[in-house]
Amino acid sequence: MKSSWSSLRKLAAAMAVSAVVMLGFANGAHAAYGNVTKTSVVDPSILKIEEMKYLGEKADYDFVLQDETGADFKLGSMTGKPLVLAFSYYTCDGACSVINKNLAETLKGVERWKIGQDYNVLTVSFDQNDTPATLANFMKEAGFADGLPDGWKMTTMLKKEDILKLTGSMGFKFFWSPRDAMFLHPNVYIMLSPKGRVTRYLYGGTITPTDMELAITKAKGGEIAAANVIDFVVGACYSYNYKDGKYSINIPLFVAAGALIFGLTLIVGSFSYMKFRRVKHES
């Protein structure tokens, strides 16, 4: 009896923590994960993606997806180019439509790379109740009634049991809040390399076209040809700031470059001076 009472107490405590987590979030935490009220006592790390654990991991591309027409296709059909992946759900009338609208606006400012030509975009629902019908309605309500740009697909998953496999493989967490009748989740774009490896997480409320352009450049990685060496140089000049969730100038690189230039200048200057003295002495 005592053992049963102890088990019940533990179960009640776990349920209480779960309730607090579900009711305390509004799509995540910190600037990168959404907004949490100042009075909230919920630890925002609950929804935080453990980036260092998943960066470099290869996604499973065997999953079967369905677009708004109900047509099936494999995730693997979008390999070969960098892929911007966004998880959403289609009965959402708030953050999910915003994150997709913002992505569309952000991509308009990406001048170096062209969607469909240099990279692809994929929105996948993590709600097992979503269907091609709810997807079609979401597209209409979110401002995509005329369709998506070439290279961008919005989809549901054919096998509902695959949802947790795909989201879990990238560290994406989500919870259902019965009180608010909504999912709580991070608003994040996941960048995948042409070979399907996770290369970057960019958070919806903070990124700029420059951030996205740099993320695509970095994702292209070793595929940057000699003719596009300038892209490699530009990519190297920026590093990702995990604290701010943005790209920033790679200060150590510039310091090292400055030191190298100074050293070379000193060597060349010394050589030129010695040569000048030698010529003057011989004359």
183-196 pLDDT, tens per residue? 888 889 999 999 88
CA separation for the pair 148, 256 (Å, rounded): 44
Binding-site positions read 92, 96
**Cβ atoms of 121 and 83 closer than 8 Å:** yes
Please list the ranges in the chain whose pLDDT falls under 70: 1-45, 222-283
Structure confidence at residue 273 (pLDDT): 56
CA separation for the pair 207, 224 (Å, rounded): 23
How long a stretch of residues is the chain?
A: 283
Sign of the torsion angle spanned by Cα atoms 88, 89, 95, 96: positive
Structure confidence at residue 235 (pLDDT): 38
Domains in the chain (CATH in brackets) are 2-220 (3.40.30.10)
CA separation for the pair 75, 64 (Å, rounded): 6
End-to-end CA distance of the chain: 109
Structure confidence at residue 269 (pLDDT): 60
CA separation for the pair 45, 47 (Å, rounded): 5
Binding-site positions for Cu cation read 92, 96
221-263 pLDDT, tens per residue? 744 332 233 333 443 444 445 455 554 554 444 344 445 455 5
pTM greater than the 0.85 cutoff: no
Question: What 3-state DSSP class applies to 223?
Answer: helix
Structure confidence at residue 184 (pLDDT): 84
Structure confidence at residue 175 (pLDDT): 84
